Structure 1
Amino acid sequence: MISVRARILVPVLVLILLGDALISWLVLRDSHHEIEDVYDAQLAQSARLLQGVLRQRDPGEADWDRLYQAFDQAMSRVGEEGVAHPYETRLTFQVWRSDGQLLVRSAEAPVLAAPPATLGSHDIMENGNDWCAFLLADPQQGLLIWVGERDDIRQDVIKRIMRHTLWPTLIGVPLLTVLIWLCIGWGLKPLRVMALSIRGRNSDTLQPLHLKPLPTDLEPMQTALNRLLVQVDELLERERRFIADAAHELRTPLAILRIHAQNAQSAETSEQRREALEFLVSGVDRATRIASQLLTMARIEPQLNNPVRSRVQLTELVREELAELTPLAMEKGVELVLEGDEECWVETEPVALAIALQNLVTNALNFSSSGREVTVVVHKDEEGRVCLRVEDAGPGIEEGELPRLFERFYSRGNANGAGLGLAIVQMVTRKIGASLHIHNLASGGVCAELSLNQTNSTL
């Protein structure tokens, strides 16, 4: 991939060259035509000057010789006596009577058998040379005055004029190219400074860029890069947290699994082997739950940064989630009960809310005894907020331990628990703008109440 400077300069230079070539061609064409007209006007002016002088002559044939000598010398002394102009040309003249009789002709004038038939400017070919001429009729004196110059001499002068016209272009285009190159380099300097700043940063540094001052065109780029750096930092932080959590929580279960496996290998009786294998299966189940919860946290955390809200029927969502959890409840011998309003709509992130409900109900099932109930209630409180309450009939929680329930890997009274369920619920509720409150019931057991704010609900 070529550089940005080259990508800009090459098209610009091509356009300049093409434009300059087209403009130069048009200028040369028009200039050539205009210079031709100027020289034709000069011929006409010379013919009229000659006409004026002829009107001042004395009658008599002797005057023609004297006039011939004077005009021939004046018109043929181009560049002599140190006073000349580089664009002068040699003019010739001829004078006829109206009946076609030649009266006088300069030495270098072409020999014409008769005056040209066309008055004014005209071109003729004579003796292998092209001539540009002007024929003027003077009825007062009965004369035809012809003034001309060789076309090759005229074209040589025009070419010199053209060359002088083209030199500034031929010199200016390379100079302009260099200046454009330098100007583009100056304009791209902030981008180069930004690239050098990024290249010089340590690979572990994800701090936002703060390059000042910046052109307005680069400020959106810096903002986008800073946003990307923040996202990468958050992603790496989640990975570090996930790895730390997994290493922290799985290290002990894996060590215990190894001990149970070794006990099964060294068991002396079938009863000892069966007991060791039961512990091994229980440990595998706990490690599986921990891994599942860790993966759940890692999966939903980035999704909750940009929640996709929609209007959902809360009671219907709860009914569907309870149906999925029914096999787990039957395995534990616990009955799931749904109570509350049938028509209760909320504006929320349904997937995240479902994950929170699954963890609350699963947590309640873990602390409920066989033959008891776990009740899920959907209702509106006195302030008009939509509430989702999960109640169990377990032993309850000591008041001093309630603040620690949301700590990661804190599992009270459940040796097989991962200690991540309520931490996930709290993370979800914060992201969707809800609130979570856990308290003991007067009748025994624990109530976890999830409240959706009015801004998140359609009442």
Structure 2
Amino acid sequence: MSRAGGVIRSLLEPSLLRRMLLVQVLLVTLLWTAILGFVIAEGRELPELFHNQALYEVAFAATESPADSPQGQEHVLQMMGNALAASFSDGDTGTSFSPIMYVRSDGRLLYKSNPDAPLLRNRQFGVVETLEADGKAWRALSRVSPGGTVVTMALPDTWGLMMTIGTRGYYLGPLVISLPFLLLPAWLSIHLALRPWRKLSHEIEVRAPSNLQPLDFQPRHRELRPLVSSINTLLQRVSEVTQRERTFIADAAHEMRTPLAALRINAEALRQPRDEAARLELLGNLLRSSDRATRMVGQLLKLMRSDAACAAPQAMALEQLVQDRMAVLDALAAQRGVELELLFNEAAPVRICGERESLTSLIDNLVENAIKYSPPQGLVMVQVSKRGEWAQLQVLDSGPGIAAEYREQVFQRFYRIADQPQSGSGLGLSIARSAVERHGGSISLHDGPSGGLRVTVYMPLC
């Protein structure tokens, strides 16, 4: 039972091979139907039988020529009927698919090719007419000779013809006979055509999970090239992401090692007998190392969040968000003796669409950096404005600034300029750039108008 169920499931499972076979069968059926329909339409419009003037002339001659006996004359007409059936149908004069010939002279019916056919008589000579007899429609054409002999040729009408084709197997017969002979070549051709796909599938299947190199398989077939190219592009992206993550982990471990080592050194020093002043100094070092480690972990979390997929964007006023964050950072600025100033136009609110948490990280990192590097009594000015279809955020400080040759490198993770007086993780600007790029914007560094650093951010408006 389980084996039978497995076979049934296998048959019901979607298959490209079965689908392509079905498409080929349908195409053959549609092609045969179209050809048959074309033949029927052509026959409906201009039947060849009605335009064969020679047939009528022969019938006239056989009827009107002297004959030794009426039986001989009828025998000649019977031979004509057989020839007519053989030329324009399946050769059987008794079928409803065969044309019928009537011969009349002086109002008498001399000959009818199918004894079971109904009597048909045109109302006009030389005109194809549709006649009804015994519930069937016929198309008939009668011609009259100078001697008064009337010869009528009749064919079943289109609908009757189509019914005959369906019931007698003229439509299904060729399909039923030919399709079994077509399935095997079609299956073989499709099986051979899919061989490159199987090679590609095999290479992917046996590949090790750690192998992110491009595929060795180089298809010569045009249909496979986009797929292989897309897979190689995906592998390259995954490889780059994996390499960035490995580098990030290695750099994070290296950066975390310094404050952790300082914590251990100061903790071990506290175990030794010390006077109160030395103990307080070591405790202060412990706290500073702990703060540095805590800040490092917080920055790492922010960076990971900024690299993660964004939540659903929401519309917000940029100046309001900046104002809220500067209120939070005011205590830090006051502690360092730095003044904060925010400039924006209340009459022209700057609305952007984005992830609030990511934008909060952006503002916090830029303003915190500006506060940290500004001297006591310094000024950090933040400006929010519109520039065409872009929102502009500028943060200006009164610190030492950044030399032009370092302005691109400082966006790298954990990068710090040598001989910096301020401690830090080297992640602030990296977090800021990641947040800006996720919102489709740009960030750049410039000299301030009166010294210091000017950070300019552009993001699209809602």
**What interval of TM-score do these two structures reach, taking the shorter chain for normalisation?**
0.5 to 0.7
Structure 1 residue aligned with 2:153? none
Closer/same/farther in 2, CA of residues 183 and 286 from structure 1, 3 Å limit: same
- Whether the 8 Å CA contact 1:377–1:389 is kept in 2: the answer is yes
How many residues end up aligned between the 2 structures? Answer: 311
Corresponding position of 1:316: 320
Structure 2 counterparts to residues 157-306 of structure 1, below 5 A = 182-201=188-207, 203-209=209-215, 211-214=218-221, 216=223, 221-222=227-228, 224-303=230-309
CA contact (8 A) 2:361 2:432 kept: yes
Do structure 1's residue 423 and structure 2's residue 427 form an aligned pair? Answer: no
Q: Which deviates more, 290-299 or 397-406?
A: 397-406
Larger Rg: 1
1:243-295 alpha-carbon deviations (Å, 9 max, x no partner) = 12212312222222211111112242233222212111111111222222233
**Secondary structure class of the residue paired with 1:409:** coil
AA in 2 matched with 1:254: L
Q: Which amino acid in 2 is paired with 1:319?
A: Q
Point out the more displaced range, 426-435 or 280-289: 426-435
Select 1:438's aligned residue among 442, 446, 459: 446
Secondary structure at the counterpart of residue 199 of structure 2: helix
User: Does 2:442 match 1:448?
Assistant: no
Q: 1:10 to 1:346 in 2, by over 3 A?
A: closer
Q: CA deviation at 1:371?
A: 5.6
CA offset at residue 191 of structure 1?
Answer: 1.8
**C-alpha distance in 1 between matches for 2:283 and 2:458:** 45
SS of 1:387's equivalent in the other structure is: strand
- Structure 2 Cα separation of the partners of residues 400 and 189 of structure 1: 57
Contact kept? 2:372, 2:422, Cα under 8 Å: no
**RMSD between aligned alpha carbons?**
5.0
* 1:357 matches 2:398: no
- What residue number does 2:341 align with? 337
Contact 2:350 2:384 in 1 (8 A): no
Give, in whole Å, the separation in 1 of the partners of 2:449 and 2:377.
19
Which residue of structure 2 lines up, in the alignment, with residue 387 of structure 1? 392
Letter in 2 for 1:329: A
**Uncovered stretches (5+) of structure 2, i.e. residues with no partner:** 1-8, 26-175
Change in CA separation of 1:246 and 1:207 when aligned onto 2, cut-off 3 Å: same
User: Structure 1 residues 401, 269: closer, same or farther in 2, change over 3 A?
Assistant: farther
**Separation of aligned partners in 2, 1:8 and 1:422:** 51
Structure 1 residues 72-124: Cα deviation after superposition (integer angstroms, max 9, x where no partner):
xxxxxxxxxxxxxxxxxxxxxxxxxxxxxxxxxxxxxxxxxxxxxxxxxxxxx
CA distance in structure 2 between the partners assigned to 1:237 and 1:397 by the alignment: 32
Q: Is the 8 A contact 1:312 1:350 kept in 2?
A: no
Which SS does the other structure have where 2:247 is aligned?
Answer: helix
**Equivalent-residue separation in structure 1 for 2:336 and 2:303 (angstroms):** 25
In structure 2, distance between residues paired with 1:391 and 1:328: 17
In the TM superposition, residue 4 of structure 1 has moved relative to its aligned partner by 11
Letter in 2 for 1:418: S
| Amino acid of the structure 2 residue aligned with 1:339 | L
Deviations 1:345-383 (A, max 9, x none): 3656455544322211011121245565432122457x9
String of CA shifts for 1:420-445, please: whole Å, max 9, x gaps: 21233344445633241232553x6x
Contact 2:352–2:391 (CA under 8 A) maintained in structure 1: no
2:244 maps to a residue whose letter is: R
- Give the whole-Å Cα distance in 1 for the aligned partners of 2:14 and 2:253: 52
Separation of aligned partners in 2, 1:208 and 1:232: 11
Distance 1:189 1:4 in 2: 23
Deviations 1:103-152 (A, max 9, x none): xxxxxxxxxxxxxxxxxxxxxxxxxxxxxxxxxxxxxxxxxxxxxxxxxx
Segments of structure 1 that go 5 or more residues without pairing to the other structure are 17-168
3-state secondary structure, aligned to 1:410: coil
Query: In 2, Cα distance between the equivalents of 1:182 and 1:385?
Result: 60
Counterpart-to-counterpart distance in 1, 2:353 and 2:14:
52
Q: Is the 8 Å Cα contact of residues 410 and 419 (structure 1) preserved in structure 2?
A: yes
Q: TM-score, normalised by structure 1?
A: 0.53
TM-score, normalised relative to structure 2: 0.52
% same residue: 32
Separation (CA, whole Å) in 2 of partners of 1:331 and 1:303:
36
**SS, match of residue 416 in structure 1:** coil
Change (3 A) 1:405 1:262: same
